Structure 1
């Protein structure tokens, strides 16, 4: 079964289960005059609508690349997640507005054994559904399914709270419906904001996961003749479509044919292991003026703000040395770079230096 088919199948299961719960909870909520149970029913309805949007998003995202969209339509999944988050946020705000007055003017609720049984069944059903949907979402890297599963799991906890409140109402004649409704609405609002934040991070371009970055670099370093791996940059064109670039340091004596073969080998290896398309750039490695390179690295080691220096190369005919430097985002970057440049110039004034500003985007 393809990834799209799994999303559709899981979402359909969610739709069916949630619609059944909507019918049961709405009936019980109206019959018992319970605002909390009625709000739970509304929340289940938004869950069903979210599953429908997830299906539509998956179908659209699965369209093949075309002339106007050469990278495909994978990012549509992120837009569907934003829509889902907006729907959940609207439901939470509406619930809050309806529940708040109930704290001060509580309604009398009349729970029956049947209504309590239905709530208990709903707790179990939502727990099982949430675990199932979340597990599938994690397996296929679907943010929408993971969020939907987490929401369903938390719904089961909220329904359990409703059940406890009902039991307290029966035995102690204390109404907690308004308070519980406010709690439910706040939880829904928070969940929607978290979902929105995570999705927007993916759309804007979040930092490369450090674990994935290390695995990719370690995989490339397994290839003989690679001295170092730098400048990993990944771009997300959908949950299952990632492309990027990387630089590797190799001997400057290699021919163009050798470099092409090595680049193809690296790209094929990474695609096979991670399903990521990488463009490979080259840094030349030699031991010319190794003393200057060692001095530069020693100077840099005195500054904890400097995360890495790489790409060191000497152009004898131009009397020029160039290197890339990565300075921590939180540091006074310009000040640190000026100090490094000043110290290496003082130690080796016979060369000019070109410092290329690089960025810490992966580690």
Structure 2
């Protein structure tokens, strides 16, 4: 619940900033006669949409287990991340298409100075919002929120392209405005594809990373009575991990003694590795 509150707080702050920034960029684009800046404003509006998706995802995924969902709702975060990745892809293709059309037709005007200043302000704000969001996303292990952070950075990159394009256009190189838009669109599409792949991996029971597996192994093998680890399986479930482990104990132990060792393993893994939601322990006889 604390993760949900922290994530929601960050998301609400960035959403308010995005609304203000989008209005500012739209006005600057209209008065500065810069279609690149107007497209940049639309990109910022899409950030508002993805942040709303993140808030909904955090709310649902923070719910506990129920009758229909005995393993919880964490995996819905990956679903939200897929929605965000699709939004990034659509924005990337839209910016790239419009920029390519303008470059091909030569329908390019020289933007005003206000559009240049708006792009500079956008770069600073959006990069700041990226770091503000990504730090919290990594802290609470939220892939949806991390996707939202990259959406902020993609907007910052878009603004960098817009800035260079407007600057070049004001110096007579009018083709730079749409060309920068095409380059930025490619970067945005790449981020969208990468995020989509990560979200899919979380939905198909991917294993935890090697560092986490090593921590589990070291934690279990150090417990008195555990002779060996026969099998260890992990699966990522949203921002949590499920662990299934088979340990070998002396075959001469009683059921109660074997159970006590298994309980120690269960508690050790869940307490020492805070990303583990549940650890299932199975006992096998060790024959030496």
For normalisation by structure 1, the TM-score amounts to 0.74
Inter-CA distance 188–258: structure 2 relative to 1 (3 Å threshold): same
**Pairing of 1:199-278 with structure 2 (within 5 A):** 199-240=199-240, 242-275=241-274, 276=276, 277-278=278-279
Specify the alignment match of 1:133 in structure 2. Answer: 133
Please say if residues 206 and 236 of structure 2, whose CA atoms lie closer than 8 Å, have aligned partners that are also in contact.
no
What are structure 1's unaligned runs of at least 5 residues? Answer: 288-363
Structure 2 unmatched runs, 5+: none
The structure showing larger relative contact order (alpha-carbon pairs under 8 Å, at least 6 residues apart) is: 2
Q: CA–CA distance in 2 between the matches of 1:108 and 1:68?
A: 56
Q: Check conservation: 2:108, 2:174, Cα contact below 8 A.
A: no
Shift of 1:113: 3.3
Distance 2:259 2:137 in 1: 38
Does structure 2 retain, via aligned residues, the 8 Å contact 1:106–1:177? no
Structure 1 residues 169-220: Cα deviation after superposition (integer angstroms, max 9, x where no partner): 2223433122122222222222111111100000012232111001101011
CA distance in structure 2 between the aligned counterparts of 1:265 and 1:47, rounded to whole angstroms: 46
Q: Distance in 2 between matches of 1:254 and 1:171?
A: 83
Q: After superposition, what is the alpha-carbon deviation per residue over 1:242-292, rounded to whole angstroms, capped at 9, x for unaligned?
A: 3221011221121111101000111011111114221111232234xxxxx
Alignment of 1:98-113 (within 5 A): 98-113=98-113
Q: TM-score scaled to structure 2, two decimals?
A: 0.92
The root-mean-square deviation of aligned C-alpha atoms, in Å, is 1.8
- String of CA shifts for 1:25-60, please: whole Å, max 9, x gaps: 122222333232222111111111000011111112
Of 215-224 and 100-109, deviating more is 100-109
Aligned partners of 1:65, 1:137: CA distance in 2, in Å? 23
For 2:111 and 2:93, how far apart are their aligned partners in 1?
A: 27
The Cα offsets for residues 218-259 of structure 1, whole Å up to 9 and x where unpaired, read as 01111123222232112333313x322101122112111110
Aligned to 1:286: 287
Whole-angstrom distance in 2 between the partners of 1:50 and 1:149: 10
1:56-135 → structure 2 map (5 Å cutoff): 56-135=56-135
- Structure 1 consecutive aligned stretches of length 4 or more whose deviation exceeds 6 Å: none
The answer to which of 21-30 and 50-59 deviates more is: 21-30
Q: 1:154 to 1:188 in 2, by over 3 A?
A: closer
Indicate if the aligned counterparts of 2:75 and 2:238 stay in contact, CA closer than 8 A.
yes
User: Which residue of 1 is the match for residue 142 of structure 2?
Assistant: 142
C-alpha distance in structure 2 between counterparts of 1:163 and 1:178, whole Å = 11
Aligned residue pairs total 286
The structure number with the bigger radius of gyration is 1
Secondary structure of the 2:171 match is helix
